[in-house]
Structure 1
Amino acid sequence: MPSVISVQSHVCYGHVGNSAAVFPMQKLGVEVHSIPTTVLSNHPAHSSVYGRAIESLLLHDLFLGLEDRGAFKSSDGILSGYLASVENAKVIANAIKSYKQLKPKGLYCLDPVMGDRGKGLFVSEGIPELIIDQLLPLADIITPNKFEFDVITQTNAKTFSEMISVARLLIKKNSLRCVVVTSAEQPVDKGKPKIGVLVVKAETAWLISTPYLAVSPSGAGDLFTGLFVGWIVRGFSEQFAAQKAICALYRIIELTLSAGKEELDIITHQDCIINDIENYPLKKCE
Protein backbone atom coordinates (compact mmCIF):
# COMPACT_ATOMS: atom_id res chain seq x y z
CA MET A 1 0.00 0.00 0.00
CA PRO A 2 1.43 3.42 -0.93
CA SER A 3 1.77 5.96 1.86
CA VAL A 4 2.06 9.75 2.14
CA ILE A 5 2.97 12.21 4.88
CA SER A 6 0.51 15.11 4.62
CA VAL A 7 1.40 18.36 6.40
CA GLN A 8 -1.48 20.85 6.34
CA SER A 9 -4.01 22.66 8.48
CA HIS A 10 -6.69 20.76 10.39
CA VAL A 11 -10.24 21.97 11.01
CA CYS A 12 -12.88 20.44 13.27
CA TYR A 13 -15.75 21.68 11.08
CA GLY A 14 -15.74 21.51 7.30
CA HIS A 15 -13.16 20.32 4.82
CA VAL A 16 -9.99 22.30 4.19
CA GLY A 17 -6.34 21.33 4.49
CA ASN A 18 -5.82 17.83 5.82
CA SER A 19 -9.54 17.72 6.59
CA ALA A 20 -10.10 17.85 2.82
CA ALA A 21 -7.13 15.77 1.66
CA VAL A 22 -6.67 12.86 4.08
CA PHE A 23 -9.92 10.95 3.61
CA PRO A 24 -9.85 11.15 -0.22
CA MET A 25 -6.31 9.77 -0.25
CA GLN A 26 -7.37 6.99 2.13
CA LYS A 27 -10.35 6.29 -0.14
CA LEU A 28 -7.84 5.77 -2.96
CA GLY A 29 -6.06 3.15 -0.87
CA VAL A 30 -3.22 5.37 0.35
CA GLU A 31 -1.96 5.22 3.94
CA VAL A 32 -1.79 8.80 5.21
CA HIS A 33 0.33 10.05 8.11
CA SER A 34 -1.21 13.47 8.78
CA ILE A 35 0.58 16.27 10.61
CA PRO A 36 -1.35 19.47 11.42
CA THR A 37 0.17 22.92 10.94
CA THR A 38 -2.85 24.46 12.69
CA VAL A 39 -5.80 23.18 14.68
CA LEU A 40 -8.83 25.39 14.06
CA SER A 41 -12.54 25.14 14.71
CA ASN A 42 -13.24 25.94 11.04
CA HIS A 43 -11.67 27.77 8.13
CA PRO A 44 -11.26 31.55 8.57
CA ALA A 45 -13.82 32.45 5.90
CA HIS A 46 -16.54 31.92 8.53
CA SER A 47 -17.64 34.77 10.82
CA SER A 48 -15.71 33.30 13.74
CA VAL A 49 -12.77 30.97 14.11
CA TYR A 50 -10.97 29.52 17.14
CA GLY A 51 -7.74 27.64 17.55
CA ARG A 52 -4.12 28.35 16.72
CA ALA A 53 -1.00 27.32 14.92
CA ILE A 54 0.89 24.29 16.14
CA GLU A 55 3.95 25.32 18.17
CA SER A 56 7.19 24.77 16.25
CA LEU A 57 8.67 22.46 18.92
CA LEU A 58 5.54 20.27 18.85
CA LEU A 59 5.62 20.20 15.06
CA HIS A 60 9.28 19.15 15.17
CA ASP A 61 8.43 16.37 17.64
CA LEU A 62 5.58 15.08 15.46
CA PHE A 63 7.99 14.73 12.54
CA LEU A 64 10.53 13.11 14.85
CA GLY A 65 7.95 10.57 15.98
CA LEU A 66 7.13 9.63 12.37
CA GLU A 67 10.83 9.27 11.60
CA ASP A 68 11.30 7.03 14.67
CA ARG A 69 8.45 4.80 13.51
CA GLY A 70 10.06 4.40 10.08
CA ALA A 71 7.46 6.48 8.24
CA PHE A 72 10.10 8.56 6.46
CA LYS A 73 11.66 5.46 4.90
CA SER A 74 8.34 3.80 4.10
CA SER A 75 6.42 6.79 2.72
CA ASP A 76 6.25 7.36 -1.00
CA GLY A 77 5.94 11.10 -0.64
CA ILE A 78 5.36 14.23 1.41
CA LEU A 79 2.63 16.75 0.66
CA SER A 80 2.75 20.16 2.32
CA GLY A 81 0.05 22.81 2.21
CA TYR A 82 -0.93 25.74 4.43
CA LEU A 83 1.88 27.06 6.65
CA ALA A 84 0.76 28.99 9.72
CA SER A 85 4.07 30.57 10.74
CA VAL A 86 7.58 31.19 9.50
CA GLU A 87 8.96 29.08 12.36
CA ASN A 88 6.82 26.12 11.34
CA ALA A 89 7.78 26.52 7.71
CA LYS A 90 11.44 26.20 8.71
CA VAL A 91 10.63 23.01 10.67
CA ILE A 92 8.90 21.58 7.61
CA ALA A 93 11.84 22.46 5.36
CA ASN A 94 14.24 20.64 7.69
CA ALA A 95 11.91 17.63 7.86
CA ILE A 96 11.76 17.42 4.07
CA LYS A 97 15.55 17.51 3.88
CA SER A 98 15.69 14.63 6.38
CA TYR A 99 13.08 12.72 4.37
CA LYS A 100 15.01 13.22 1.13
CA GLN A 101 18.22 11.96 2.77
CA LEU A 102 16.47 8.76 3.82
CA LYS A 103 14.46 8.40 0.61
CA PRO A 104 16.15 10.28 -2.26
CA LYS A 105 13.53 9.12 -4.78
CA GLY A 106 10.59 10.03 -2.55
CA LEU A 107 8.14 12.61 -3.90
CA TYR A 108 7.78 16.06 -2.38
CA CYS A 109 4.68 17.87 -3.63
CA LEU A 110 4.53 21.51 -2.56
CA ASP A 111 1.10 23.13 -2.56
CA PRO A 112 2.27 26.74 -2.06
CA VAL A 113 -0.84 27.97 -0.26
CA MET A 114 -0.47 31.71 0.16
CA GLY A 115 -3.36 33.51 -1.51
CA ASP A 116 -5.91 33.66 -4.28
CA ARG A 117 -7.33 35.97 -6.89
CA GLY A 118 -9.61 38.56 -5.29
CA LYS A 119 -8.26 37.81 -1.82
CA GLY A 120 -4.59 38.58 -2.23
CA LEU A 121 -2.07 37.07 0.18
CA PHE A 122 -3.60 35.54 3.32
CA VAL A 123 -0.54 34.04 5.02
CA SER A 124 1.77 35.52 7.63
CA GLU A 125 4.51 37.92 6.59
CA GLY A 126 7.62 36.12 5.43
CA ILE A 127 5.92 32.89 4.39
CA PRO A 128 5.81 33.59 0.62
CA GLU A 129 9.54 34.31 0.66
CA LEU A 130 10.26 31.17 2.68
CA ILE A 131 8.19 29.03 0.30
CA ILE A 132 10.12 30.41 -2.67
CA ASP A 133 13.58 30.34 -1.09
CA GLN A 134 13.50 27.16 1.02
CA LEU A 135 10.66 24.85 0.01
CA LEU A 136 10.55 25.33 -3.75
CA PRO A 137 14.17 24.13 -4.27
CA LEU A 138 13.28 20.90 -2.43
CA ALA A 139 10.10 20.20 -4.41
CA ASP A 140 9.53 17.71 -7.20
CA ILE A 141 6.05 18.97 -8.07
CA ILE A 142 4.25 22.20 -7.21
CA THR A 143 0.50 22.84 -7.47
CA PRO A 144 -0.08 26.61 -7.25
CA ASN A 145 -3.27 28.34 -8.27
CA LYS A 146 -2.79 31.05 -10.89
CA PHE A 147 -2.40 33.79 -8.27
CA GLU A 148 0.27 31.81 -6.42
CA PHE A 149 2.00 30.93 -9.69
CA ASP A 150 2.28 34.64 -10.48
CA VAL A 151 3.67 35.40 -7.02
CA ILE A 152 6.28 32.64 -7.24
CA THR A 153 7.40 33.54 -10.76
CA GLN A 154 6.92 37.32 -10.39
CA THR A 155 5.03 37.34 -13.68
CA ASN A 156 1.47 37.78 -14.89
CA ALA A 157 1.19 35.43 -17.84
CA LYS A 158 -2.07 35.96 -19.71
CA THR A 159 -2.16 33.03 -22.14
CA PHE A 160 -1.55 29.33 -21.67
CA SER A 161 1.44 29.58 -23.98
CA GLU A 162 2.96 32.24 -21.74
CA MET A 163 2.20 30.19 -18.62
CA ILE A 164 3.90 27.15 -20.14
CA SER A 165 7.02 29.18 -20.98
CA VAL A 166 7.19 30.66 -17.47
CA ALA A 167 6.58 27.24 -15.87
CA ARG A 168 9.43 25.72 -17.89
CA LEU A 169 11.82 28.38 -16.68
CA LEU A 170 10.75 27.49 -13.13
CA ILE A 171 11.23 23.78 -13.86
CA LYS A 172 14.72 24.37 -15.20
CA LYS A 173 15.78 26.67 -12.36
CA ASN A 174 14.54 24.37 -9.58
CA SER A 175 14.93 20.93 -11.22
CA LEU A 176 11.18 20.34 -10.91
CA ARG A 177 9.47 17.31 -12.35
CA CYS A 178 6.20 19.09 -13.04
CA VAL A 179 4.26 22.32 -12.43
CA VAL A 180 0.48 22.12 -12.13
CA VAL A 181 -1.32 25.47 -12.36
CA THR A 182 -4.93 25.42 -11.15
CA SER A 183 -7.67 28.04 -11.58
CA ALA A 184 -6.20 29.24 -14.86
CA GLU A 185 -8.94 31.16 -16.68
CA GLN A 186 -9.56 30.71 -20.36
CA PRO A 187 -11.07 32.99 -23.00
CA VAL A 188 -14.86 32.80 -23.25
CA ASP A 189 -15.89 29.98 -25.60
CA LYS A 190 -19.27 30.62 -27.25
CA GLY A 191 -20.46 32.66 -24.30
CA LYS A 192 -19.44 30.03 -21.73
CA PRO A 193 -16.40 30.90 -19.62
CA LYS A 194 -14.07 28.04 -18.72
CA ILE A 195 -11.30 27.45 -16.24
CA GLY A 196 -8.33 25.19 -16.68
CA VAL A 197 -5.76 23.04 -14.95
CA LEU A 198 -2.43 23.27 -16.74
CA VAL A 199 0.07 20.41 -16.31
CA VAL A 200 3.53 21.43 -17.49
CA LYS A 201 6.64 19.27 -17.84
CA ALA A 202 9.98 20.13 -19.43
CA GLU A 203 8.97 18.83 -22.86
CA THR A 204 5.19 18.45 -22.82
CA ALA A 205 2.11 20.18 -21.43
CA TRP A 206 -1.59 19.34 -21.06
CA LEU A 207 -4.74 21.29 -20.34
CA ILE A 208 -7.89 20.05 -18.60
CA SER A 209 -10.80 22.46 -19.02
CA THR A 210 -14.00 22.64 -16.97
CA PRO A 211 -16.90 25.10 -17.00
CA TYR A 212 -16.28 28.13 -14.81
CA LEU A 213 -18.05 28.16 -11.44
CA ALA A 214 -18.66 31.57 -9.88
CA VAL A 215 -18.65 30.00 -6.41
CA SER A 216 -16.21 27.37 -5.16
CA PRO A 217 -16.25 26.08 -1.59
CA SER A 218 -13.14 26.56 0.55
CA GLY A 219 -10.78 23.59 0.42
CA ALA A 220 -11.21 22.85 -3.28
CA GLY A 221 -7.49 23.29 -3.92
CA ASP A 222 -6.60 21.09 -0.95
CA LEU A 223 -8.94 18.36 -2.20
CA PHE A 224 -7.47 18.58 -5.70
CA THR A 225 -3.88 18.25 -4.51
CA GLY A 226 -4.74 15.38 -2.17
CA LEU A 227 -6.41 13.46 -5.00
CA PHE A 228 -3.59 14.36 -7.39
CA VAL A 229 -0.89 13.07 -5.03
CA GLY A 230 -2.97 10.00 -4.21
CA TRP A 231 -3.18 8.99 -7.86
CA ILE A 232 0.52 9.69 -8.42
CA VAL A 233 1.71 7.43 -5.58
CA ARG A 234 -0.58 4.78 -7.03
CA GLY A 235 1.52 4.93 -10.19
CA PHE A 236 -0.33 7.32 -12.50
CA SER A 237 1.43 9.99 -14.57
CA GLU A 238 1.04 13.62 -13.56
CA GLN A 239 -1.33 14.43 -16.40
CA PHE A 240 -3.65 11.49 -15.75
CA ALA A 241 -3.51 12.09 -11.99
CA ALA A 242 -4.54 15.71 -12.60
CA GLN A 243 -7.36 14.63 -14.91
CA LYS A 244 -8.75 12.14 -12.40
CA ALA A 245 -8.43 14.69 -9.59
CA ILE A 246 -10.16 17.55 -11.41
CA CYS A 247 -12.99 15.35 -12.70
CA ALA A 248 -13.76 14.08 -9.20
CA LEU A 249 -13.34 17.53 -7.63
CA TYR A 250 -15.60 19.26 -10.13
CA ARG A 251 -18.36 16.70 -9.64
CA ILE A 252 -18.14 17.00 -5.84
CA ILE A 253 -18.34 20.80 -6.11
CA GLU A 254 -21.35 20.55 -8.44
CA LEU A 255 -23.20 18.23 -6.05
CA THR A 256 -22.24 20.36 -3.05
CA LEU A 257 -23.59 23.54 -4.62
CA SER A 258 -26.75 21.88 -5.92
CA ALA A 259 -27.51 20.76 -2.35
CA GLY A 260 -27.10 24.34 -1.12
CA LYS A 261 -24.18 23.50 1.16
CA GLU A 262 -21.25 25.82 1.89
CA GLU A 263 -18.70 23.16 2.89
CA LEU A 264 -17.39 20.57 0.44
CA ASP A 265 -19.67 17.55 0.82
CA ILE A 266 -16.88 15.02 0.43
CA ILE A 267 -18.31 12.26 2.62
CA THR A 268 -21.75 12.18 1.00
CA HIS A 269 -20.24 12.07 -2.46
CA GLN A 270 -17.20 9.93 -1.74
CA ASP A 271 -18.03 7.60 -4.63
CA CYS A 272 -16.89 10.39 -6.95
CA ILE A 273 -13.36 9.85 -5.66
CA ILE A 274 -12.94 6.33 -6.98
CA ASN A 275 -15.36 6.27 -9.90
CA ASP A 276 -13.77 6.55 -13.34
CA ILE A 277 -15.25 9.95 -14.10
CA GLU A 278 -13.53 11.39 -17.16
CA ASN A 279 -15.92 14.12 -18.26
CA TYR A 280 -13.09 16.53 -19.02
CA PRO A 281 -10.43 15.26 -21.44
CA LEU A 282 -6.72 15.93 -21.53
CA LYS A 283 -5.69 18.28 -24.32
CA LYS A 284 -2.06 18.30 -25.30
CA CYS A 285 -0.88 21.88 -25.64
CA GLU A 286 2.00 21.14 -28.00
Structure 2
Amino acid sequence: MTVLSIQSRVSFGHVGNCAATLPLERLGQEVCPIDTVRFSSNPRYPGWRGTVIDETEMRGIVEGLDALPEEAGGGLGFVRAVLTGYFGSAGQVSVAAEAVDRVRRRVPGAFYLFDPVIGDYPGGRYVQPGVAEAMVEHLLPRANLVVPNHFELDHLTGRHTHTRAEVIEALDRLAAMGPEMAVATSVKVAETAAGSVEVIAVGRAGRFRIETPLVPVHFSGTGDMFSAVLLADWLAHRDLSRAIRRAVAATWAVVEESRKLGGPELALVAAQEAMLAADYRAVGVHPL
Protein backbone atom coordinates (compact mmCIF):
# COMPACT_ATOMS: atom_id res chain seq x y z
CA MET A 1 0.00 0.00 0.00
CA THR A 2 1.41 3.40 -0.98
CA VAL A 3 1.01 6.75 0.78
CA LEU A 4 1.39 10.02 -1.14
CA SER A 5 2.98 12.32 1.45
CA ILE A 6 2.96 16.06 0.68
CA GLN A 7 4.91 18.11 3.22
CA SER A 8 8.22 19.78 4.06
CA ARG A 9 11.77 18.44 3.84
CA VAL A 10 14.90 19.44 5.78
CA SER A 11 18.52 18.35 5.39
CA PHE A 12 19.13 18.41 9.15
CA GLY A 13 16.62 16.99 11.60
CA HIS A 14 13.33 15.15 11.32
CA VAL A 15 10.27 17.20 10.40
CA GLY A 16 7.73 16.86 7.61
CA ASN A 17 8.58 14.12 5.13
CA CYS A 18 11.80 13.50 7.08
CA ALA A 19 9.69 12.60 10.13
CA ALA A 20 6.94 10.71 8.31
CA THR A 21 8.72 8.53 5.75
CA LEU A 22 10.67 6.22 8.07
CA PRO A 23 7.73 5.43 10.41
CA LEU A 24 5.44 4.77 7.44
CA GLU A 25 7.97 2.47 5.82
CA ARG A 26 8.81 0.61 9.02
CA LEU A 27 5.08 0.05 9.52
CA GLY A 28 4.68 -1.52 6.09
CA GLN A 29 3.69 1.39 3.85
CA GLU A 30 5.43 2.43 0.65
CA VAL A 31 5.86 6.21 0.55
CA CYS A 32 5.76 8.54 -2.44
CA PRO A 33 6.95 11.92 -1.05
CA ILE A 34 6.36 15.32 -2.60
CA ASP A 35 8.18 18.19 -0.89
CA THR A 36 6.61 21.59 -0.29
CA VAL A 37 9.82 23.23 0.93
CA ARG A 38 13.47 22.19 1.05
CA PHE A 39 15.26 23.82 3.96
CA SER A 40 18.67 23.30 5.49
CA SER A 41 16.99 22.82 8.86
CA ASN A 42 14.01 23.89 10.89
CA PRO A 43 13.84 27.70 10.63
CA ARG A 44 14.23 27.94 14.41
CA TYR A 45 17.99 27.59 13.85
CA PRO A 46 19.91 30.81 13.08
CA GLY A 47 21.28 30.99 9.56
CA TRP A 48 18.92 28.45 8.00
CA ARG A 49 18.60 28.49 4.23
CA GLY A 50 16.24 26.97 1.71
CA THR A 51 13.43 27.47 -0.71
CA VAL A 52 9.68 27.07 -1.06
CA ILE A 53 8.93 24.76 -3.97
CA ASP A 54 7.17 26.50 -6.82
CA GLU A 55 3.58 25.32 -7.16
CA THR A 56 4.09 24.75 -10.89
CA GLU A 57 6.93 22.34 -10.08
CA MET A 58 4.75 20.57 -7.52
CA ARG A 59 1.89 20.25 -10.00
CA GLY A 60 4.30 18.88 -12.59
CA ILE A 61 5.42 16.14 -10.19
CA VAL A 62 1.81 15.19 -9.46
CA GLU A 63 1.04 15.12 -13.19
CA GLY A 64 4.15 13.03 -13.86
CA LEU A 65 3.10 10.49 -11.25
CA ASP A 66 -0.38 10.37 -12.72
CA ALA A 67 1.12 9.68 -16.16
CA LEU A 68 2.94 6.52 -15.04
CA PRO A 69 2.18 3.51 -17.25
CA GLU A 70 0.11 0.52 -16.22
CA GLU A 71 3.16 -1.58 -15.37
CA ALA A 72 4.13 1.11 -12.83
CA GLY A 73 0.71 1.23 -11.20
CA GLY A 74 -1.37 3.04 -13.78
CA GLY A 75 -0.80 6.66 -12.85
CA LEU A 76 -1.76 7.46 -9.27
CA GLY A 77 -3.70 4.22 -9.13
CA PHE A 78 -0.95 2.78 -6.93
CA VAL A 79 -1.77 5.27 -4.13
CA ARG A 80 -4.16 4.19 -1.39
CA ALA A 81 -3.81 7.15 1.00
CA VAL A 82 -2.72 10.79 1.04
CA LEU A 83 -1.01 12.58 3.94
CA THR A 84 -0.44 16.34 3.96
CA GLY A 85 1.43 18.55 6.40
CA TYR A 86 3.32 21.85 6.09
CA PHE A 87 2.76 24.08 3.07
CA GLY A 88 5.02 26.95 2.06
CA SER A 89 2.37 28.88 0.14
CA ALA A 90 -1.38 29.05 -0.39
CA GLY A 91 -0.94 28.00 -4.01
CA GLN A 92 0.58 24.70 -2.90
CA VAL A 93 -2.60 23.91 -0.99
CA SER A 94 -4.58 24.01 -4.23
CA VAL A 95 -2.06 21.63 -5.83
CA ALA A 96 -2.49 19.22 -2.91
CA ALA A 97 -6.28 19.33 -3.30
CA GLU A 98 -5.86 18.54 -6.99
CA ALA A 99 -3.60 15.61 -6.04
CA VAL A 100 -6.25 14.20 -3.68
CA ASP A 101 -8.84 14.47 -6.46
CA ARG A 102 -6.53 12.80 -8.98
CA VAL A 103 -5.87 9.93 -6.58
CA ARG A 104 -9.57 9.45 -5.91
CA ARG A 105 -10.38 9.41 -9.61
CA ARG A 106 -8.05 6.43 -9.84
CA VAL A 107 -8.89 4.94 -6.43
CA PRO A 108 -12.32 6.14 -5.25
CA GLY A 109 -11.85 4.85 -1.70
CA ALA A 110 -8.45 6.45 -1.12
CA PHE A 111 -8.05 7.75 2.45
CA TYR A 112 -6.87 11.29 3.21
CA LEU A 113 -5.31 12.32 6.54
CA PHE A 114 -5.10 16.11 6.79
CA ASP A 115 -2.56 17.39 9.33
CA PRO A 116 -3.24 21.16 9.32
CA VAL A 117 0.24 22.44 10.17
CA ILE A 118 -0.32 26.08 11.12
CA GLY A 119 1.42 26.74 14.45
CA ASP A 120 1.46 25.76 18.10
CA TYR A 121 1.15 27.13 21.60
CA PRO A 122 2.90 29.18 22.91
CA GLY A 123 4.61 30.46 19.75
CA GLY A 124 1.48 30.88 17.65
CA ARG A 125 1.10 30.79 13.88
CA TYR A 126 4.16 30.15 11.71
CA VAL A 127 2.77 29.54 8.22
CA GLN A 128 2.60 32.21 5.55
CA PRO A 129 -0.52 34.39 5.19
CA GLY A 130 -3.30 32.69 3.29
CA VAL A 131 -2.14 29.12 3.92
CA ALA A 132 -4.50 28.34 6.79
CA GLU A 133 -7.44 29.88 4.96
CA ALA A 134 -6.66 27.84 1.83
CA MET A 135 -6.50 24.68 3.95
CA VAL A 136 -9.99 25.29 5.31
CA GLU A 137 -11.36 25.95 1.83
CA HIS A 138 -9.62 23.18 -0.13
CA LEU A 139 -8.37 20.44 2.18
CA LEU A 140 -10.72 20.18 5.15
CA PRO A 141 -13.77 19.24 3.01
CA ARG A 142 -11.75 16.49 1.28
CA ALA A 143 -10.30 14.91 4.44
CA ASN A 144 -11.37 11.64 6.03
CA LEU A 145 -9.40 12.44 9.18
CA VAL A 146 -8.11 15.80 10.44
CA VAL A 147 -5.41 15.91 13.16
CA PRO A 148 -4.80 19.44 14.51
CA ASN A 149 -2.89 20.26 17.66
CA HIS A 150 -4.65 22.40 20.27
CA PHE A 151 -3.54 25.69 18.73
CA GLU A 152 -4.55 24.57 15.24
CA LEU A 153 -7.95 23.41 16.47
CA ASP A 154 -8.57 26.83 17.98
CA HIS A 155 -7.29 28.61 14.88
CA LEU A 156 -9.36 26.57 12.44
CA THR A 157 -12.58 26.99 14.42
CA GLY A 158 -12.02 30.62 15.43
CA ARG A 159 -12.38 30.03 19.16
CA HIS A 160 -10.32 29.45 22.30
CA THR A 161 -11.08 26.11 23.92
CA HIS A 162 -10.50 25.89 27.67
CA THR A 163 -12.47 22.77 28.64
CA ARG A 164 -12.88 19.26 27.25
CA ALA A 165 -16.48 20.07 26.32
CA GLU A 166 -15.27 23.05 24.26
CA VAL A 167 -12.61 20.92 22.55
CA ILE A 168 -15.24 18.29 21.66
CA GLU A 169 -17.55 21.00 20.33
CA ALA A 170 -14.71 22.39 18.19
CA LEU A 171 -13.85 18.90 16.88
CA ASP A 172 -17.51 18.33 16.03
CA ARG A 173 -17.47 21.62 14.15
CA LEU A 174 -14.44 20.49 12.13
CA ALA A 175 -16.05 17.13 11.42
CA ALA A 176 -19.18 18.88 10.16
CA MET A 177 -17.02 20.55 7.50
CA GLY A 178 -16.11 17.24 5.86
CA PRO A 179 -13.95 14.76 7.81
CA GLU A 180 -15.48 11.62 9.27
CA MET A 181 -13.04 11.77 12.20
CA ALA A 182 -11.21 14.54 14.06
CA VAL A 183 -8.37 14.16 16.57
CA ALA A 184 -6.83 16.97 18.64
CA THR A 185 -3.31 16.51 20.00
CA SER A 186 -1.31 18.36 22.69
CA VAL A 187 -4.53 19.38 24.41
CA LYS A 188 -4.22 21.20 27.72
CA VAL A 189 -7.53 22.28 29.26
CA ALA A 190 -8.94 22.99 32.71
CA GLU A 191 -9.54 19.30 33.45
CA THR A 192 -6.10 18.12 32.30
CA ALA A 193 -3.96 16.88 35.18
CA ALA A 194 -0.84 18.87 36.04
CA GLY A 195 2.15 17.63 34.08
CA SER A 196 0.00 15.97 31.42
CA VAL A 197 -1.42 16.57 27.94
CA GLU A 198 -4.31 14.90 26.18
CA VAL A 199 -5.37 13.57 22.81
CA ILE A 200 -9.13 13.96 22.26
CA ALA A 201 -10.91 12.19 19.41
CA VAL A 202 -14.37 12.18 17.87
CA GLY A 203 -15.45 9.74 15.19
CA ARG A 204 -17.70 6.90 14.19
CA ALA A 205 -16.48 4.81 17.13
CA GLY A 206 -17.47 7.48 19.66
CA ARG A 207 -15.57 10.09 21.63
CA PHE A 208 -12.62 9.41 23.87
CA ARG A 209 -9.44 10.88 25.30
CA ILE A 210 -5.94 9.66 26.06
CA GLU A 211 -3.76 11.33 28.69
CA THR A 212 0.04 11.21 28.62
CA PRO A 213 2.80 12.79 30.71
CA LEU A 214 4.12 16.10 29.41
CA VAL A 215 7.79 15.69 28.47
CA PRO A 216 9.80 18.73 29.67
CA VAL A 217 11.61 19.12 26.31
CA HIS A 218 10.35 20.05 22.85
CA PHE A 219 11.31 18.23 19.66
CA SER A 220 10.16 19.49 16.29
CA GLY A 221 8.50 16.86 14.11
CA THR A 222 6.65 14.92 16.80
CA GLY A 223 3.30 15.87 15.27
CA ASP A 224 4.47 14.81 11.79
CA MET A 225 5.61 11.46 13.15
CA PHE A 226 2.40 11.04 15.16
CA SER A 227 0.26 11.52 12.05
CA ALA A 228 2.39 9.08 10.05
CA VAL A 229 2.10 6.30 12.65
CA LEU A 230 -1.61 7.03 13.07
CA LEU A 231 -2.17 6.73 9.32
CA ALA A 232 -0.12 3.54 8.96
CA ASP A 233 -1.99 1.80 11.76
CA TRP A 234 -5.37 3.03 10.51
CA LEU A 235 -4.65 1.66 7.04
CA ALA A 236 -3.72 -1.71 8.54
CA HIS A 237 -6.60 -2.08 11.03
CA ARG A 238 -9.28 0.62 10.41
CA ASP A 239 -9.62 1.18 14.17
CA LEU A 240 -9.27 4.82 15.28
CA SER A 241 -8.76 4.04 18.96
CA ARG A 242 -6.06 1.49 18.21
CA ALA A 243 -4.37 3.80 15.68
CA ILE A 244 -4.25 6.72 18.12
CA ARG A 245 -2.93 4.52 20.91
CA ARG A 246 -0.27 3.17 18.56
CA ALA A 247 0.71 6.71 17.57
CA VAL A 248 0.81 7.86 21.20
CA ALA A 249 2.93 4.90 22.29
CA ALA A 250 5.32 5.18 19.36
CA THR A 251 5.76 8.95 19.67
CA TRP A 252 6.32 8.69 23.42
CA ALA A 253 8.98 6.00 22.88
CA VAL A 254 10.86 8.09 20.31
CA VAL A 255 10.66 11.25 22.42
CA GLU A 256 11.94 9.41 25.50
CA GLU A 257 14.84 7.91 23.56
CA SER A 258 15.63 11.31 22.03
CA ARG A 259 15.60 12.93 25.47
CA LYS A 260 18.00 10.31 26.83
CA LEU A 261 20.39 10.80 23.91
CA GLY A 262 20.39 14.54 24.54
CA GLY A 263 20.42 15.85 20.97
CA PRO A 264 18.42 18.81 19.67
CA GLU A 265 16.31 16.76 17.24
CA LEU A 266 14.17 13.65 17.28
CA ALA A 267 16.50 10.64 17.27
CA LEU A 268 14.18 8.88 14.87
CA VAL A 269 16.73 6.53 13.34
CA ALA A 270 18.28 5.56 16.66
CA ALA A 271 14.85 5.10 18.24
CA GLN A 272 13.11 3.24 15.41
CA GLU A 273 13.18 -0.14 17.16
CA ALA A 274 11.73 1.45 20.31
CA MET A 275 9.04 2.98 18.11
CA LEU A 276 8.13 -0.43 16.70
CA ALA A 277 8.22 -2.14 20.10
CA ALA A 278 6.02 0.44 21.86
CA ASP A 279 2.96 -1.31 23.28
CA TYR A 280 -0.27 0.47 22.31
CA ARG A 281 -2.21 -1.84 24.65
CA ALA A 282 -0.62 -0.09 27.62
CA VAL A 283 -2.14 3.25 26.59
CA GLY A 284 -5.34 3.97 28.51
CA VAL A 285 -8.48 5.23 26.76
CA HIS A 286 -11.19 7.21 28.59
CA PRO A 287 -14.62 7.47 26.94
CA LEU A 288 -16.22 10.91 26.78
TM over 0.5: yes
Aligned equivalent of 1:242, options 241, 244, 247? 244
Name the counterpart of 1:159.
163
Q: CA RMSD of the aligned region, Å?
A: 1.5
The equivalences for 1:124-135 within 5 A come to 124-135=128-139
Aligned equivalent of 2:93, options 83, 89, 93? 89
**Mapped partners of 1:130, 1:273: distance in 2:** 34
**Mapped partners of 1:280, 1:71: distance in 2:** 40
The answer as to 2:49 corresponding to 1:47 is no
Q: Unaligned stretches of 5+ in structure 2?
A: 69-73
**Mapped partners of 1:88, 1:169: distance in 2:** 25
Deviates more, 1:82-91 or 1:217-226: 82-91
Letter of the 1:14 partner, please give it.
G
Deviations 1:117-141 (A, max 9, x none): 1111111111111011111111111
Aligned equivalent of 1:257, options 256, 259, 264? 259
Deviation at 1:188, TM superposition (A): 5.4
Matched-pair contact (CA < 8 Å) for 2:253–2:275 = no
Deviation at 1:166, TM superposition (A): 2.3
Please state whether the residue corresponding to 1:234 is helix, strand or coil.
helix
Name the counterpart of 2:197.
195
Letter of the 1:223 partner, please give it.
M
**Mapped partners of 1:188, 1:214: distance in 2:** 16
Deviation at 1:234, TM superposition (A): 1.4
Name the counterpart of 1:113.
117
Sort the Cα spacing of 1:64 and 1:206 in 2 relative to 1 into closer, same or farther, 3 A.
Answer: same
**Mapped partners of 2:106, 2:238: distance in 1:** 23
**Mapped partners of 1:86, 1:175: distance in 2:** 20
* Count of residues paired in the alignment: 281
Letter of the 1:64 partner, please give it.
E
**Mapped partners of 2:266, 2:239: distance in 1:** 26
Q: Unaligned stretches of 5+ in structure 1?
A: none
**Mapped partners of 1:71, 1:217: distance in 2:** 37
Name the counterpart of 1:177.
180
Matched-pair contact (CA < 8 Å) for 2:157–2:173 = no
Deviating runs (4+, > 4 A) in structure 1?
none
Deviation at 1:104, TM superposition (A): 2.1
**Mapped partners of 1:128, 1:169: distance in 2:** 16
Sort the Cα spacing of 1:188 and 1:102 in 2 relative to 1 into closer, same or farther, 3 A.
Answer: closer
**Mapped partners of 2:241, 2:223: distance in 1:** 16
Identity %: 28
Name the counterpart of 1:25.
24
**Mapped partners of 2:278, 2:12: distance in 1:** 29
Query: TM-score, normalized by length of structure 1?
Result: 0.94
Sort the Cα spacing of 1:260 and 1:71 in 2 relative to 1 into closer, same or farther, 3 A.
Answer: farther
Letter of the 1:129 partner, please give it.
E
**Mapped partners of 2:229, 2:284: distance in 1:** 17
